[in-house]
Amino acid sequence: MKVLVYGSGVIGCYLAHVLCTAGNDVTLLARGQWKEQLQQNGLRIRHHLQRKTTLDHPRVIGGIEEDDAYDAVFAVMPYNKMRAILEPLAAVRSPIVVLVGNNMSPALMRREILDRSMCEKQVLFGFQATAGKRDHAKGMLVCERAGVGGMDIGCLHGEADASTKSKLTALFGKTSYRLHWQSDMEAYLICHLAAVLPICYLAYACNGDLTGSTGKQRRLMRMASREAYAMLKAQGIPILPAGDDQYYAPGIKGTIMRFLYFGMAKWKTAGDLIACEHCRNAFEEMEMLDEEFEKVLARRPELPMPKWRELKAQMPSWDAIRKQYARGSMK
């Protein structure tokens, strides 16, 4: 099938790799120097944990071409840049558009695409847990992932229809990559920030390097997420994926999360690829997500969030982080 991946960061490129492996006709939209490297050298990915390098040759373009039509489009952009591509996504000829990544305005984005589209479209939302960085010097990506990976995906609210599920599942053929269907992606995307933002706060508090964190800080990070999940429950927001809040509570899942946080702090490469690299390079996205999540927390001001506030107070102000990032001091 013919697929467009709009966006060529780590997540988009790994998704393009899987779609190529499944035998699809894949087009990857990229810009600037990275586009030139992809056109010249192909899509090279170093899979860090798996200790292997892959090479694929998707078609690489710099913009939507009017005559092209696709069976599906995956838009993989940072939240602060997604609004800018809604118009071309509406214009592209495809019955399915999946917006992949952090998103605190899914309803507005869905409506904007549908209002502008000249053909019937299904707009879905997805999240792929892949991390890493570009290595421009070597013309490749370094990818951090567990197993083959997969995507949490679904409609804004309610279940996707059987036909849409079948079409998207077929894109991944016989690969081990799996689509995990969620019943309410708006709730899912809100819940995701309860886990992600405390990591972001601590990364900035430690000057972009989690190896400088203490055990007390990492415990505070887990407690902050626990408070946020409790706040979301109090607002009637379903916890998705189901049971994710248990990773921040006593028990087996909580133990797993403690070991993960310890690993991110002990091994700099792991911490960088999983979290810190994104905090450094997607600074604008993290600030915007933080602002939007604060609006969610403000719905129940009577519920205390002492651990969340204590952790957040340890990071510099967003103004200070902007200046630091602009100087290039967060390496």
Check: CB of residue 95 under 8 Å from CB of residue 69: no
| 268 and 156 in a common domain | no
| 159 and 75 in a common domain | yes
- Residue 272 is assigned to a structural domain of this protein: yes
| 208 and 119 in a common domain | no
Domain limits for position 271: 187-326
- Residue 331 is assigned to a structural domain of this protein: no
| 6 and 150 in a common domain | yes
Residue at which a domain ends, from 183, 200, 235: 183
Tell me which residues of the chain have a pLDDT lower than 70. Answer: 327-331
Check: CB of residue 246 under 8 Å from CB of residue 253: yes
- Residue 267 is assigned to a structural domain of this protein: yes
| 157 and 69 in a common domain | yes
**Partners of 123 in the β-ladder:** 97
**What is the structure's pLDDT at 66?**
77
Dihedral sign, Cα of residue 6, residue 287, residue 299, residue 251: positive
Q: Residue 64 belongs to a domain with what CATH number?
A: 3.40.50.720
> What would the two tokens of residue 274 be?
């999983």
Count Cβ atoms below 10 Å from residue 194 Cβ, excluding itself. Answer: 26
pTM: 0.93
81/74 Cα distance (integer angstroms): 15
Residue keyed to tokens 């040759």: 57
- Residue 138 is assigned to a structural domain of this protein: yes
| 271 and 211 in a common domain | yes
Residue at which a domain ends, from 167, 183, 199: 183
Q: Which amino acid is at 74?
A: F
| 259 and 160 in a common domain | no
| 173 and 212 in a common domain | no
| 197 and 122 in a common domain | no
- Residue 58 is assigned to a structural domain of this protein: yes
264/317 Cα distance (integer angstroms): 24
Check: CB of residue 101 under 8 Å from CB of residue 286: no
**What is the structure's pLDDT at 327?**
56
| 219 and 112 in a common domain | no
Check: CB of residue 151 under 8 Å from CB of residue 127: yes
Q: Which amino acid is at 252?
A: I
- Residue 13 is assigned to a structural domain of this protein: yes
Provide the total of helices (H) and of strands (E) in the chain, helices listed first: 14, 12
Residue keyed to tokens 């706060």: 201
3-class SS at 165? helix
- Residue 234 is assigned to a structural domain of this protein: yes
| 193 and 118 in a common domain | no
| 240 and 149 in a common domain | no
Name the domain count of the chain: 2
Residue at which a domain ends, from 136, 153, 183: 183
